[in-house]
Structure 1
C-alpha cells in the first residue's frame, strides 16, 4: 500500500513538472523531468507504469498538445535509465546509456526537423544570439561602447561560433541531465527498497591516459588552422577542446579528493579546490599531470 501511494505521488510530481515546462521555471524543471519516469519504470511493471503515465499525458494533452510532445521527448531517456536500474547495472553504464539516448534523440529531432519541417538551425541560433545580445547593446548605447563591440561583423562571428559549438552544447546538456537524474534517483530508489549501484568515489575518478594524446592532437590541429578556412576542422577543434578540458577538470577534482583522503585533511578541502579549478582554466594542468605521471602512486608510497 505504501509503495502504491509513493508511485501515485511521483505521478503527480510528473504532472507538475510537465506543466511547468512552459513557465519561467522550465530551465530548472527540464533537468528533473526524467526523474519521475525513471523511478516509476523501476518500481512498476510495464502495465502499471502505463496506468500511471497515461492519465498524466491525457491531462496535459487536454491543456495543450505540446505538453505531450515534450513528455514524449523526455520519456525515452527515463525508460532507458529505469530499465538499467531494474537490471542493477553499474552506475557508469546507466549514465552512458542515458546520455546516449539523449544524444540520439537530439540528432533525430534535428534530422527530422531539417528534412520535413524546413528547420534552419543556423537562422534559429542567429536569432537567439541577437536576442541575447540586444540588452547588452542597449546598455552600451549611451557610452558608445556598444557600437565598438557589437558590430555586425562581431555579431555574425559570434553566431557562427555558437552554431559550430552546438555539438558541445548537446553533449554537455545530455551529460548534466543524466547526472542530475542519477544523483537524485539513487537515494530515492534506495529509500523505496530498490538497490541502485553508486558511482565510484570521487577519489577513484580516472580517465584513460590516451586523453593526453587526443588533447595534444587537437592542440596541434588548432595551431594548424589559424590561417586556414577549413570550417570542418575548426568545428572539431571548437568542440573537442572544451570537452577534453572538462575531462581534465574532473580528473583534477578526483586528484584533490584522493589527496584529501590520503592526507586525512578536512573533507571541505576538495570542494574549496574545485572553485579555482572551475574558474581558472590553467588549473586543468593538475588533471593532465595526474594522468601523465603516477602522482597518486607516489603519494600512496610516501604514506607507507
Structure 2
C-alpha cells in the first residue's frame, strides 16, 4: 500500500504539471483519478502526507497549478468519500458529475460577475480564429470563392456553439466521472476495499417519464424557433440532445437484455452497440423499449 500510494502521488503530480501543456486536453479527464484513489484507500493523515508535497512542488513550478489542484480536488473528495461509504455506483457517478458541473457553473458565474468575462465574446473569438484560415483560402482561390466563410456564417456558428455549451458542460462532467469510476473501482478493489459496481447492462432501465419530457422538449423547441427566443431554444436543444443519449443507453440495455434471454454470445450485443452509437436514429429502439413492454414480450415469447 505504501509504494502504491507513492506511485499514485507521482502520477497525480505529473497530471497536474501537464495542465500547462498541450496534453491537458486529454489529461484533464484523468486528473480526478489519483486523488480519488488516495482518499478512498488512505486515512486523512496519510492522504494529506501524500497530497501536500505534490501541491508544494506544483506550486513551485507554477502558482496557478495550486489553484487547479484545489479545483479538481473537490470532486475527488466527493467520489472518494462515496467509495468509503460504499455508496452505489450510480450514486457515485451522479454526485461526482454533479460536483464537477456545479464547479463549472460557479467558475463561470464568478468570471462573469467579478472578472468581466464575456462567454459570448470569447466563443466568437474562438470561432473567428478557427474559421479565419478557411476564409483566407476562399478569398485567395477564385475557384472556391463562393464557399468562403462570411461574417454572417461565423456569427451563425458562434450562436450555435453558444447554444451547445450547457450540453458540452454536462457531457464533459459526466465523462470525467465515468472515466474516474471505470478506472478507480478495479484499482481500489485490488487493494482490498470493496466498491459497488454498476448494474449489468441488461438491467439498465430509464424512467418511462422521459418519454413525456422528450415530447415536451420537442414542442418547446418548435415553439421557441417560431418565437425566436434564444433562451428557450437553448434549453430545448440541450434537453433533447441529453434525452437522445438516454434513449441510446436504453437501446443498448435492450440488446444486452435480449442477448441474455436468448443466450447469445456476449459479442453480439456489443456489435449492436456500435451502430447505435454511430447511427443516432437507432435510438428509436430505446424509445420503444420505454414506451412499450418489449422486454416482457421477449421473455414471454421465450417461454
Other-structure match for 1:151: 150
Using the TM superposition, give the Cα deviation of residue 66 of structure 1 relative to its aligned residue in structure 2, in angstroms: 1.4
Other-structure match for 1:275: 274
Aligned partners of 1:290, 1:93: CA distance in 2, in Å? 24
Other-structure match for 1:59: 57
Structure 2 contact 224–230 (Cα < 8 Å) conserved: no
- For 1:66-145, what aligned pairs fall within 5 Å after superposition? 66-138=64-136, 140-141=138-139, 142=141, 144-145=143-144
CA 4–292 in structure 1, closer or farther in 2 if over 3 Å, else same: same
TM-score normalised over the length of structure 1: 0.95
**Count of paired positions:** 302
Aligned partners of 1:83, 1:284: CA distance in 2, in Å? 35
Structure 1 contact 225–233 (Cα < 8 Å) conserved: yes
Aligned partners of 2:144, 2:95: CA distance in 1, in Å? 47
Other-structure match for 1:183: 182
Structure 2 contact 138–148 (Cα < 8 Å) conserved: no
Deviations 1:59-87 (A, max 9, x none): 01101111112111111000000000000
Other-structure match for 2:203: 204
CA 273–46 in structure 1, closer or farther in 2 if over 3 Å, else same: same
Structure 2 contact 39–77 (Cα < 8 Å) conserved: yes
1:30 correspondence with 2:37: no
- For 1:279-298, what aligned pairs fall within 5 Å after superposition? 279-298=278-297
Using the TM superposition, give the Cα deviation of residue 51 of structure 1 relative to its aligned residue in structure 2, in angstroms: 1.1
Structure 1 contact 209–291 (Cα < 8 Å) conserved: yes
Deviations 1:162-210 (A, max 9, x none): 1122111110000000001000000000001110000011111111000
Deviations 1:71-104 (A, max 9, x none): 1111100000000000000001101110111111
Other-structure match for 1:10: 8
Aligned partners of 2:143, 2:150: CA distance in 1, in Å? 12
Structure 2 contact 138–147 (Cα < 8 Å) conserved: no
Give unmatched runs, 5+ long, in structure 1: none
Other-structure match for 1:214: 213
Other-structure match for 2:241: 242
CA 171–138 in structure 1, closer or farther in 2 if over 3 Å, else same: same
CA 291–146 in structure 1, closer or farther in 2 if over 3 Å, else same: farther
State which drifts further: 158-167 or 146-155: 146-155
Other-structure match for 1:170: 169
Aligned partners of 2:105, 2:282: CA distance in 1, in Å? 33
Give unmatched runs, 5+ long, in structure 2: none
Q: Secondary structure at the match of 2:226?
A: coil
1:41 correspondence with 2:65: no
TM-score normalised over the length of structure 2: 0.95
- Give the superposed CA RMSD: 1.5
